[in-house]
Each structure stands twice: as structure tokens, then as C-alpha cells.
């Protein structure tokens, strides 16, 4: 499976620490999330999607469309 979370971070030239700080977790926990050691929670998925401006489905590789859904 693709690792879109890592790919997005690398494509944006960000460190794990910068992303972790932006979404309110430690760098260690973020590393575990990125490697699949730590399961993603709904809350973390939403924080990551908001941070990168993509949909949760894109992060989960359910779609190749990276644009977020319109807000209600």
C-alpha cells in the first residue's frame, strides 16, 4: 500500500517534527503513525487531512483525487 502520509510530508519538504507539532502530537507518535506501528485514529486522520488540504479518502488511498470535499 502506498504511504501517502509520508509522501505528502516529503513532497512538502517537511520534517516529522514539523508535522507532529502542527497536528498536536509528538514526533515519536507521528513516526509510529507514518510507519504503521501506531493505528491512525479518526481524529488524527482529520487533522492530517486539514493540515495538507486533502480528503481523508485520499490519505487512505481510497481515491486518487487529492482535493478535499466541499464543507457543508
In whole angstroms, what is the distance from residue 24 CA to residue 3 CA? 21
66 part of a folded domain: no
Does residue 70 lie in a domain region? no
The structural domain count of the chain equals 1
Residues 6+ positions from 7 with CB-CB distance below 8 Å: none
**Full residue range of the structural domain in which residue 55 is found:** 4-59
Domain contains 11: yes
Single pTM value for the model: 0.88
Cα separation, 72 vs 60, whole angstroms: 22
1-34 tens-digit pLDDT: 468 999 999 999 999 999 999 999 999 999 999 9
Q: If pLDDT is split at 50, 70 and 90, which confidence band does 45 have?
A: very high
Q: Is 18 inside any structural domain?
A: yes
Amino acid at each position: 500500500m502506498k504511504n501517502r502520509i509520508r509522501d505528502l510530508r516529503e513532497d512538502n519538504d517537511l520534517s516529522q517534527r514539523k508535522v507532529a507539532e502542527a497536528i498536536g502530537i509528538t514526533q515519536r507518535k507521528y513516526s509510529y503513525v507514518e510507519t504503521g506501528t501506531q493505528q491512525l485514529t479518526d481524529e488524527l486522520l482529520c487533522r492530517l487531512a486539514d493540515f495538507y488540504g486533502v480528503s481523508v479518502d485520499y490519505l487512505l488511498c481510497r481515491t486518487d483525487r487529492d482535493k478535499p470535499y466541499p464543507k457543508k
